[in-house]
Amino acid sequence: MRNRDYINRKLEQLDHTLINLLRIVNTQEPIGTYKNSISKAQDIIEDLRTVIEREPMAPQESNSSLQ
């Protein structure tokens, strides 16, 4: 995988966002703060999907779609 470091950084960002969401819930912050963090998490997931789609498929991946 060519973008392994990038993906790992994005996964760390997602993990920190989820930790922040737990903190927001525990401290009962305003709903807007919660929604902003959810939006950040969704953006990270979309970035990861884009990176994965750009990666070349291994031969076994393209063959498995035929089964």
pLDDT tens sequence across 19-66: 999 999 999 999 999 999 999 999 999 999 999 888 887 777 665 554
Is there a domain that residue 66 lies in?
no
Which contacts of 1-6 are long-range, i.e. CB under 8 A and separated by 24 or more positions?
1/55, 2/55, 3/51, 3/54, 3/55, 6/51
Give me the helices (H) in the chain, please: 4-26, 31-54, 59-64
Is there a domain that residue 63 lies in?
no
Task: Check: pTM over 0.85? Answer yes or no.
Answer: no
Hey, how many other C-beta atoms are within 10 angstroms of the C-beta on 50?
9
Domain count, the chain: 1
Is there a domain that residue 67 lies in?
no
Domain around 24: 4-52
- pLDDT at residue 4 greater than cutoff 90: no
**pLDDT at residue number 1:** 64
**pLDDT at residue number 62:** 65
Is there a domain that residue 57 lies in?
no
Query: 44-57, pLDDT tens digit by residue?
Result: 999 999 998 888 87
Is there a domain that residue 20 lies in?
yes
